[in-house]
Structure 1
Amino acid sequence: MTSASTGPEAAVPARLSILDRSLAREGEHPGAALRDTVSFARQAEALGYHRFWVSEHHGVPGIAGSAPTVLASAVASATSRIRVGTGGVMLPNHQPLVVAEQFGVLESLFPGRIDMGLGRSVGFTDGIRKALRVGKDAADGFSEQITELLAYFDGTGPVHARPADGLRVPAFLLAVGSGAEIAAEHGLPLVIGAARDEQRMLDAIETYRATFRPGGQAPAPYVMVAVNVAVAGSAEEAARLQVPEAWSTAVSRTQGAFTPLAAPEDVLARTMTARERAAYDAARASQLHGTEDEMAAALAALTARTGAGELLLTLNTHDPADRLDSYRRLAHATGLVPGGDTAPEDSSAPRAFDPPAVSAPR
């Protein structure tokens, strides 16, 4: 979807962040995708992006990111300023005590830089759920799992989680299904995707703000909108960058397996079945692409519609150089300042959610 090149309806949030899912590329070992993620994080930091998050997927052929806290540790080790976190740890797959311990270790090693993004998805096949020792209903107790997890940090858990006890690690909740209500119930920032059904997203955000309970980690409702964005010298070239991921998504919806990223020209040369074409077109419909000016305007308009305090950006394409060029162009277009700072904030915009600079005495 290409934005019109009209001027922005509102300023783009002062905070622009990145979600990298460590997607594999055709002909490469999955380990190469993990090493690429670490390298990309260093580049993102140099461009001035605020956060760099990694994700959790199990048993997916085209996605190497299966252990987000381990990968987050590698990313934090390779960087010095950018905030590092998970988008997210799928809590139903884990024991809250173990998750607290892992983030306690991360925060102890990299104080003031760690984010704990949490999701409620479980393995997507019976085999994966069996291997994870969880059932299809594992997410039913998600709210209770969050309560237990957060209790380990403030010392009110059933046992003491070392070294998490007493540390301040900001938690974010990824909206899936009733995620908006759960984020509001716990007073947590909400992360929600800008998908094809925008009205559903806007309704969820409205519900979140209306039912938000102060007293949690966030002092007020805070929304981070996740969106797939590609920027290039022309709208046509930007659209080309998103072809590989759209095709892999189409394959996952029609064949049940997310495939490694193929070169755009290889995808465009395919003769797709009607079902594949429909899934491919649906994946493309949720993507934004265009020139620098077009995407600055599109992101400003998205900010105006959602009231987001932050945008979580993603782009997965076949050539890492093309991806870096896209993020570099976007950083230029939106006023990010290399070195980890940002352009002056609009005082009318929602304030970015960050924890105190110091977690606890060491």
Structure 2
Amino acid sequence: MRLSLLDRSRTRAGWSDAAAVTATVERAVEAEAQGYHRFWVAEHHAVPGIASSAPPVLLAAVGARTSRLRIGSGGVMLPLHQPLVVAEQFLLLEALHPGRVDLGLGRSLGFTPPVRRALRREEAAATGFEADLQELRGLLTGDGEVTARPATRGDVPMHVLAVRHGVAIAARLGLPVVVGGTDLLSDEVLASLREYRRSFRPWRGSAPSVTVSLDVTVAEDDATARDLALPEAWAMAQSRRTGEFAPLQPVRAIRDASWPAQVRERVEALLERAVAGSPARVRRHLEQLADRTGADELMASTSTFDVDALRESDRLLRDLVA
């Protein structure tokens, strides 16, 4: 499998949002040095725990600090934007960083009604996702009703971030698909991937391509890796209780905090499903994942409070996959 990273610019207790996006750029520089194939950034709006709100802007900074690494969005939420604007943004990135730019596209409208109102988008905006993908592809290839600028000689590959019927859309349009989550080996997901490959309609010679995205935390031993996975699990569990996805907390602060029974149960469940452990343990899980899903690429979306430990996790993951 090819190996890539998705960095969501997670904020951390005591950090500014600016520090979070700077850390993303630095992580991309390390990823290139470590031999990663691709580095993607995310789009989230008004989320306290995530500083990445404008992928094209952040990718311009990442591209300026790297020279070989493929860069892209995981993803641009297409219902929030006009296809022409997205095409112009990514054609400009392709002009600046030729042959390195990917465009991952999702259909989320934001977490809460206030965010959707601020974005001037309501639930119905997501219903035209497939048509918007087709319009965007025409604009990127020069086959649209208008000519998006800057015109480039290169290609900006589109990828569909898929949940449920998104896999079927990718198959109909002949596009690569990215599937994520903690249940990648569920019968439902595996069946959808089989159907994706069976019903895939090639577009200009394209072939089915599956990327699986999940948190993968690697450390010298299982206990250390489990500790590194704790801040993200804690934030997820607390968000169910508070309705707010908060910045990452240090492990010691989490251990010293009050753990209501429901939060403890959620944290433990999340840690049980996490891919976190020693290189040998993680290797076994990834081999099973590759065998069952037939994935062409693994995109690790790992985050933790300790950025040095995160850098080491990235290195260990690169070594064991290589």
TM-score, scaled relative to structure 2: 0.96
**Match in the other structure for 1:27:** 14
Give 1:165 shift: 6.5
* C-alpha distance in 2 between matches for 1:179 and 1:286: 24
**Match in the other structure for 1:65:** 52
Unmatched segments (≥5 aa) in structure 1: 1-12, 336-362
Which one of 204, 208, 215 corresponds to residue 196 of structure 2? Answer: 208
3-state SS of 1:242 partner: helix
- Asked if the contact 1:195–1:201 (Cα under 8 Å) also holds between the matched residues in 2, the reply is no
Aligned-pair Cα RMSD in Å: 1.4
* C-alpha distance in 1 between matches for 2:9 and 2:307: 11
* C-alpha distance in 2 between matches for 1:193 and 1:117: 13
**Match in the other structure for 1:344:** none
Aligned length: 321
Whether 1:230 aligns to 2:214 is no
Paired residue type of 1:144:
A
- Asked if the contact 2:98–2:154 (Cα under 8 Å) also holds between the matched residues in 1, the reply is no
Which one of 275, 280, 288 corresponds to residue 262 of structure 2? Answer: 275
- The within-5 A match list for 1:164-175 is 164=151, 167-175=154-162
* C-alpha distance in 2 between matches for 1:213 and 1:285: 38
- The within-5 A match list for 1:1-362 is 13=1, 15-164=2-151, 167-196=154-183, 198-199=185-186, 200-215=188-203, 219-335=206-322
Paired residue type of 2:85:
V
Give 1:194 shift: 4.2
* C-alpha distance in 2 between matches for 1:176 and 1:254: 24
**Match in the other structure for 1:351:** none
- Asked if the contact 1:196–1:285 (Cα under 8 Å) also holds between the matched residues in 2, the reply is no
* C-alpha distance in 1 between matches for 2:83 and 2:280: 44
- Asked if the contact 1:228–1:286 (Cα under 8 Å) also holds between the matched residues in 2, the reply is no
Describe the shift of the 1:204–1:196 C-alpha distance in structure 2 as closer, same or farther (beyond 3 A): same
Q: Provide Cα deviations, 1:229-271, integer angstroms capped at 9, x if missing partner.
A: 1111110101110100111111222221110000012212323
* C-alpha distance in 1 between matches for 2:47 and 2:171: 31
- Asked if the contact 2:95–2:152 (Cα under 8 Å) also holds between the matched residues in 1, the reply is no
Paired residue type of 1:275:
Q
Paired residue type of 1:220:
A
* C-alpha distance in 1 between matches for 2:146 and 2:223: 56
Describe the shift of the 1:287–1:268 C-alpha distance in structure 2 as closer, same or farther (beyond 3 A): same
Give 1:205 shift: 1.0
Describe the shift of the 1:165–1:55 C-alpha distance in structure 2 as closer, same or farther (beyond 3 A): same
Q: Provide Cα deviations, 1:33-59, integer angstroms capped at 9, x if missing partner.
A: 000000010001100010000000000
Describe the shift of the 1:266–1:69 C-alpha distance in structure 2 as closer, same or farther (beyond 3 A): same
- Asked if the contact 2:185–2:292 (Cα under 8 Å) also holds between the matched residues in 1, the reply is no
- Asked if the contact 2:174–2:201 (Cα under 8 Å) also holds between the matched residues in 1, the reply is yes
- Asked if the contact 2:94–2:100 (Cα under 8 Å) also holds between the matched residues in 1, the reply is yes
Give 1:176 shift: 1.9
- Asked if the contact 1:253–1:279 (Cα under 8 Å) also holds between the matched residues in 2, the reply is no
* C-alpha distance in 2 between matches for 1:167 and 1:330: 31
- Asked if the contact 1:186–1:213 (Cα under 8 Å) also holds between the matched residues in 2, the reply is yes
TM-score, scaled relative to structure 1: 0.86
